[in-house]
Amino acid sequence: MIQFQALAQTYGTPLYVYDFDAMKEQFESLKEAFRGRKSILAYAVKANSNLSVIKHFAQLGSGADCVSIGEVRRALMAGVPKYRILFSGVGKRDDEIREAIQSDILYINLESEGELSRVEAIAKELGVKARISIRVNPNIDPQTHPYISTGLHDNKFGVEIDAAKRMYIHAKNSDNLDAVGIHFHIGSQLTQLEPIYEAAVIVADLLRSLQAIDIELKFFDIGGGLGVRYNDETTITPYDYAQAILGALKGIDVTIICEPGRFLTANAGYFLTKVLYEKQNGAKRFVVVDGAMNDLIRPSLYNAYHRIEAVGKTSEATPVDVVGPVCESGDFLAKNYPLPAMEHNDLLVVHSAGAYGFGMGSNYNTRGRSAEIAVENGEARIIRARETFEDLIALEREYL
C-alpha cells in the first residue's frame, strides 16, 4: 500500500507518484508472454519519459521506442543500449535523422517516401548505410478513441502496402540504406484483439511477399497500444496478445519487437491533488482542487475517465465536477463523479495517471509542473523536483 497521505504531506501537491514495483510486474508479464521467441520490448518513452522511469525499464532489459531525438538522448542517458533503441514518428527533422544515424541506434522507422529520401541523402553525406524499418498503415480500424487511432488511411501515420513495397525495393538497391525491419502500430488503448491480429496478418503477408523477392527483414515490429483498465474495460491479456502475433507470423523466423507504453506505466501512476474548496452554482456541485489540466490533460483532451479516490472519506457520495484552477471550462479531472462532501486540504488520488500524464503537462497559467516521486520496495524518492517560478521564466528575455 502506498502511503498517499504521508507522501502528500512530505512532498506537497499536486504530485505524481509512480509505483516502480508495479511497473516491473507489467514489464515481466509481457516479457513472459513472448518467452521462447526472439523478442525485444522497447518501452515507448513518450508514455512517461522521466529518466528514472526509463532507467528502471533499461535495468529490466528493455529497449526504447523514441519519437524525437530528445527521447533518443533520454534513452541513451538512462542506459538503454543503442542496439535496442528505435526512432519512430511521422516527421523527423534533418538534424534529428543525422544524430540518430550517428548514434548508431537499431533502426529508424520511416513513415513516408519523402522521409526515405531524406534518410538516404543524409546517410550518403555521412558515408554510411542507415538501418531502417518501414511503418505500414494496414487501414484497420482499431476501435479506440479517434484521437489515438493511427492505423487507418485517414490517420497521418505510416504508408500503404504498395508504397511500402516500393520503398523496400528502393532500399535494396541503395548503397546508403539497410532495411532491417517492418513496423505497424494501429492505435493506443486497444482493448480488442481482432484488429491487432488482422493488422499483423496483413503485415506478415507483406513480409512474405518481400521474402519472395529476396528482401529479408530481421525485425517484425508490432508497435504498442495494449490497453489498460481505467474503469471497467475488458483488456487483452499478454498471453492472448502474444499468441495472436505468433499466429499471424506462422513460424516466420523474425525477432518480434513490441513497443508498450501505457501498458507498462498507466496503472502504476497516481496523481495526488488537494481540495481547495467545494462550491455550488445553482444545482451544480463543484470540487475545486489544486491540480489542473496543465498537470493531467487526458480528461480535457479525450474525455478520459480516471478513477478518483477520496482518501479517508466515507460519507455518502454524490455527483460532482472535479475542476482545477486553470481559466478554461475544459479544465476538469472528472465530471459528474460520485464523491463525498469534501473540505479544504482533503486529498484526492487520481488513479491510472502513470502514462500520458506528467509528459503531456504544460506551464499554462504559469503553473509549475508537479514533482514526481518513485516508490520502490516501500521507499519513496524524488525523481523530479517541483518546478519553481524561476524555472518557468528562466528562458525569457528583455523583460526589464
Ligand X SMILES: *Cc1c(COP(=O)(O)O)cnc(C)c1O
- List residues near ligand X by CB under 6 A: 44, 46-47, 65, 67, 88, 185, 188, 223-226, 259-263, 355
Length, in residues, of the chain: 400
User: Does the bond joining 142 to the residue before it have cis omega, within 30 degrees of 0?
Assistant: no
DSSP string, 307-374: -EEETT--SPPEEEEEE-SSSSTT-EEEEEEEE----TT-EEEE-S-SSSSGGG---TTT-PPPEEEE
35: number of Cβ within 10 Å = 8
CA–CA separation, 58 and 69 (whole Å): 18
Smallest gap from Cβ 355 to ligand X, in A, equals 6
- At residue 4, what is the residue type? F
66: number of Cβ within 10 Å = 31
Smallest gap from Cβ 154 to ligand X, in A, equals 17
By beta-carbon proximity to ligand X, the closer residue of 259 and 290 is 259
Smallest gap from Cβ 361 to ligand X, in A, equals 16
327 catalytic residue (yes or no): yes
Nearest C-alpha neighbor of 16 from the set 276, 259, 306: 306
Whether the Cβ atoms of residue 69 and residue 44 lie closer than 8 Å to each other: no
User: Angle between the 161-172 and 113-126 helix axes, to the nearest 10 degrees?
Assistant: 20
Residue of this chain nearest to ligand X (CB atom): 261
CA–CA separation, 286 and 324 (whole Å): 10
By beta-carbon proximity to ligand X, the closer residue of 227 and 368 is 227
Smallest gap from Cβ 263 to ligand X, in A, equals 6
By beta-carbon proximity to ligand X, the closer residue of 65 and 372 is 65
CA–CA separation, 259 and 185 (whole Å): 9
Whether the Cβ atoms of residue 137 and residue 149 lie closer than 8 Å to each other: no
CA–CA separation, 58 and 308 (whole Å): 31
Positive or negative: CA dihedral 152, 154, 155, 160: positive
By beta-carbon proximity to ligand X, the closer residue of 19 and 290 is 19
32: number of Cβ within 10 Å = 12
Smallest gap from Cβ 163 to ligand X, in A, equals 18
Smallest gap from Cβ 148 to ligand X, in A, equals 7
By beta-carbon proximity to ligand X, the closer residue of 50 and 176 is 50
3-state DSSP assignment of residue 215: coil
By beta-carbon proximity to ligand X, the closer residue of 323 and 353 is 353
3-state DSSP assignment of residue 103: coil
Cα of first residue to Cα of last residue in the chain, in angstroms, is 50
User: Which entry of 1, 283, 327, 400 is annotated as an active-site residue?
Assistant: 327
Smallest gap from Cβ 227 to ligand X, in A, equals 8
The CA–CA distances, whole Å, from 294 to 91, 114, 144, 228 equal: 25, 35, 24, 23
By beta-carbon proximity to ligand X, the closer residue of 14 and 261 is 261
Smallest gap from Cβ 323 to ligand X, in A, equals 27
CA–CA separation, 2 and 23 (whole Å): 14
By beta-carbon proximity to ligand X, the closer residue of 123 and 222 is 222
- Residues involved in catalysis: 327
